[in-house]
Amino acid sequence: MKQKIIALRCLLNAFAVSAALSLVCFAQAASSGQGQVSQQATPAIEWPADPISMMVAEWTRAKNWSKEYMDKMPEGGLNFKPTPEIRSFAEQMIHLAGANFAYAARAAGQANPYQGKDLTKMDEFKTKTGLTKLVMESYDFMINGIKTINADKLKEKIQRPGITLTREAIIHNGFEHQTHHRGQTTIYLRLKGATPPPEPFQ
């Protein structure tokens, strides 16, 4: 009789362990399933396929990212230089903006509103508000310029002293240029105690 009781207890313990393991597995499966549902509920970002819309999307993303960089820099850090011989933060951004205007004017055949002007000497761009306005204006100038170009004219060649480029190549060169100079200012933000903004999806 005693042996039967012991056997029964062992059997009951086995059932209890089995039930506990089953509940753990169920909870993990449910949790995993909820994660999958959540991931599936968030649709993936789809960028436009046509070249004009794609470039507009790329430049809009770049504009938003540059705005975040400028928001991160304190007003007192505009004239900051990591070393004396290089551009200040403000000068980097003014250089970026001036190039955006130039590349856009060249690619889209529109008049550069700041042609022949030294932006670094213009008082209205020496404050954070004015500087941000200039940089955002330069991105808008590029974006609006791209929108005026027919897709079939992207491969049209533009002759300049010493080089011939398509309209599309000029726009891509401009994009590379602004990426390069915005990237340089990452260290400026770090040295001023600010954390550079993460790369946006769009």
26 and 65 part of one domain: no
- Structurally, the chain folds into a number of domains equal to 2
Instruction: State pLDDT tens for residues 54-96.
Output: 999 999 999 999 999 999 999 999 999 999 999 999 999 999 9
The reported pTM is: 0.77
Instruction: State pLDDT tens for residues 89-140.
Output: 999 999 999 999 999 999 999 999 999 999 999 999 999 999 999 999 999 9
Question: Can you give the pLDDT at residue 161?
Answer: 84
Range of the domain at 176: 51-191
Question: Can you give the pLDDT at residue 200?
Answer: 86
Closest CA to 129 of 93, 101, 99: 93
The full DSSP string for 31-48 is HHHHHHHHHHHSPPP---
61 and 144 part of one domain: yes
CATH of the domain at 61: 1.20.120.450
Please check whether residue 200 lies inside any domain of the structure: no
